[in-house]
Amino acid sequence: METTTVRVRNGAFETEVLKGGSGQPLLYLHGEMGADERGFLDELAGRFEVTAPRHPGYGASTGDDHLIELHDMLYYYLDFLDEVGLRDIPVVAHGLGGMFALELAAMQPERFRKLAVIAPFGLWDAVNPVPDFFVFSPDDLKQANFHNPDSSAAETMAMPQNEGDTQAILERVKSQRVAAKYLWPIPNRGLAKRIHRVRMPTLLLWGASDGIVPVSYADDFAGRLPDASKEVIPEAGHLAHLEQQDRVLAALDRFLS
C-alpha cells in the first residue's frame, strides 16, 4: 500500500490515503481506534484496488476543525468520494467507519454496490448498551477489543511505554478525541430512522467476543436492513479483522465475489 494525500474542498481538508492493489475499486473506512491495519489492507489489495482514507483528525489527515457533528463528516466524505471518482463500488468498514458507511449508504444508496461492515456503531439497545470505552484502562481496552488479549494481534492496542513514543501516545489521544465527537456519550445519531434506505446487499460481521459493540447488535442491524446477511466470527473481539484475519477475509471473499 502506498500513502498519498488527497485535497478536498480546495485544500480545506488534506486526507491521508492508503492505496494499493488492482482490479475492482473498493473503499475501506477504518474504525475508531486508528489501529495499524496494514496487514489486513495488504490482503484486501490482493483482491481489489483499495482506497483507504484516514478520517479527518486521524494520522496526517487534516480538517477535523471544520467538522462539528456527524452530518458534517458525511458531507465531507461525499466530497472526498467525488474528488477521487469512486461510485458504484463495494465498501468494507469497521466500527466508527461502519457507522459512516451505513449513513452514507442511506444518503446515497445508488453510490454503493455492496456493503460489508464489521461491528458498526449506530444503533442503541438500552438492555445491551455499548460501554463508555473512552474511560477504559489500556488493559480493559485490550480485553474488549480482543478475544485473546495476549495475542500478537492485541499488541497493536498496547499503549506505548517508551520515552521516544510520545508521538504514538499523542496519536492515540487524538484518535480518541475525534471518535468521541461522533460516539460519545452514546453512539446513537438517529441511524434507526434512516437505515431502511440502505438497500444494497449488506454483510454484518461480528466477533463473538466483542466487548465494545455487543454481538446482539448483529441481530438488531439485520432486522432493520432490507437485504442483510450476518456472520459471527468465533474467537474474535471487536477488532475481528485483525484477530481472525483469515476468517474475516474468507467471509468477505464469499460476499464480494
Q: Is the pLDDT of residue 125 over 70?
A: yes
Q: For residues 118 and 241, is the Cβ–Cβ distance under 8 A?
A: yes
Residue 211 neighbours by CB under 8 Å, 6+ apart: 131, 143, 144, 145, 237, 238
Classify 59 in phi/psi space as left (phi over 0), alpha (psi -120 to 50) or beta: left
Torsion angle defined by CA atoms of residues 55, 118, 251 and 195, in that order, rounded to the nearest 10 degrees = -100
Domain of residue 70: give its range: 2-256
The pair phi, psi for residue 130, each rounded to 5°, is: -70, 125
pTM as predicted: 0.96
pLDDT category at 159 given cuts 50, 70, 90 is low
Number of domains, the chain: 1
Ramachandran bin of 136, using left for φ above 0, alpha for ψ from -120 to 50, beta for the remaining angles:
beta
d(CA 81, CA 69) in angstroms, rounded, equals 19
Give dist(CA 33, CA 187) in Å, integer: 15
Q: Write the pLDDT tens digit of every residue in 11-38.
A: 999 999 999 999 999 999 999 998 889 9
Q: What is the CATH number of the domain that holds 78?
A: 3.40.50.1820
pLDDT of res. 203:
98
Dig out the grid coordinates for 206 from the structure: 461480528
145-170: average pLDDT: 77
Least confident interval from 97-101, 168-172, 214-218, 221-225: 168-172
For the chain, the residue count is: 257
